[in-house]
Amino acid sequence: MSTALLVLGILSALTAAAAVVRGRNIGPLIVPYFLVAWLTGELVPHLFVLQLVVAAALIAGGALDEGRGVIGLALLIAAWIPMAIAQWRAVRAEPELRRALREGLSRPDESPGELGKVRSYVPYRELVNPFRMHRPAVEVLCNIAYGDAGHRNCLDLYRPAQRTKPLPVLLQIHGGGWTIGDKREQAKPLMYQLAANGWACVAANYRLSPSASFPDHIVDVKRAIAWIRRRGSEYGLDPTFVAITGGSAGGHLAALAALTANDALFQPGFEEVDTSLSACVPFYGIYDFLDRDGAFARQSMKSFLQRYVMKCSHDDDLAAWERASPVSHVGDCAPPFFVIHGTHDSLALVENARAFVAALRGISTAPVLYAELPGAQHAFEVFHSLRTGHTVNAVHRFLENIHAQARAQRSAH
């Protein structure tokens, strides 16, 4: 029992430290560090309760009869300090998101109401059961084909079970380093929240590397947009308002799609379809394949991108690498953006997002919102947590606001 308590104390101390220390440039340890920091940082209350229960059981079994058990208990108690810091950082997400909305929108506190009330709290049920996503008010249609590449050209549609009006659309693009991932795995808290409040959410797969090479990934994203434009009305969607979101590689592809509206190079065979987007909400994306600002330093992705995604070096085809970088396409016709990134992201470094936002704000005439969430790791909003809930609420408010403006403009004309 004493040894078990010591092991619990050591593991608790290590995982708690990972949740508050920003790990970078640690080579092959980066992925296991990310996994530990991510899960610990988002599940602090659950881990705290689990540690208490296990420790109480061990102590009741005599774990404190030996010095090892006492040391283990001391380490466990010490671990609760960084865990408290991690939870405090999660609490601070709400004022940071509110600041971004206040600075970026003319009427950030307006809830148009027609599409459902934007909540200002995080439901207790989501915090208690972070992996429960289903809502009775939401209908899900799976594996609708939008292209010819089999399962990689299929999408899932989340929409209200009861519908009376055409639904504005949010297209979700999954991450996974352009090489793995599936439409069923990410952004479900956001999609279920929107679908329960009068939106349609489309989660699309796309061809993956190394079988696929750029620009196959973005071509598929454009095909999904084209499907919404051409066939969305058959499913109750409003093809005149399509926003896009995604995380990591999905954030890259979402931003790239938003900044390359109607680019014929990315729409082979369907050049005539309007692929413009009404808004973009990229999460922890990669915005410059060339890393011109040196954000990634020794953690550069260039060799990975060259081998698996681009299939050429930037020296051999600099233009292709430029085309693949959202920052290269920034212009005054960009749609409204809400860029969201965590300060402690160990896979997509926050400096890259800062540089992208600065470039957007330097030329775009549309709102550019930026929320830098204290302590947030990569993929933080995959399941329910306090930080996820506040972020979902803020994105919902942003999209409602932009949609209300678009609706008012259409009415004026």
Are 77 and 103 in a shared domain?
no
Choose one of 91, 122, 137: the last residue of a domain. 91
> Are 141 and 219 part of one and the same domain?
yes
Among 288, 291, 345, 385, the one annotated catalytic: 345
Residue 248's alpha-carbon distances to 188, 239, 251, 383, 388, in angstroms, are 15, 26, 5, 15, 16
Same domain, 52 and 98: no
Q: Which domain holds residue 66?
A: 2-91
Whether residue 352 sits in one domain with residue 274: yes
In total, how many domains does the chain have? Answer: 2
> Which of these three, 71, 91, 111, is where a domain ends?
91
The predicted pLDDT at position 104 comes to: 93
Q: What is the pLDDT of residue 409?
A: 83
Give catalytic status of residue 403 as yes or no.
no
Residues 15 and 105 in one domain: no
Whether residue 346 sits in one domain with residue 290: yes
Q: Is 274 a catalytic residue?
A: no
Can 344 be counted among the known catalytic residues?
no
Neighbours of 238 (CB within 10 A): 18
pLDDT at residue 149, rounded to an integer: 86
CA distances from 11 to 26, 42, 70 (A): 19, 17, 15
Same domain, 109 and 81: no
81 and 114 both lie in a single domain: no
Mean pLDDT by 10 residues, the chain (413 residues): 92 96 84 96 97 94 88 96 98 98 80 66 94 94 95 97 93 97 97 96 98 97 98 97 98 98 97 98 96 72 92 91 97 96 95 96 97 98 97 97 90 72
Q: What is the pLDDT of residue 413?
A: 66
Of 248, 325, 346, 385, which residue is the catalytic one? 248
CATH of the domain at 234: 3.40.50.1820
Query: Same domain, yes or no, for 72 and 148?
Result: no
Q: Domain end: 57, 91, 125, which one?
A: 91
Tell whether 74 and 192 lie within a shared domain: no
Q: Are residues 206 and 254 in the same domain?
A: yes
Q: Are residues 364 and 287 in the same domain?
A: yes
Q: Are 337 and 395 in contact (CB under 8 A)?
A: no
- Catalytic hit among 378, 384, 396, 403: 378
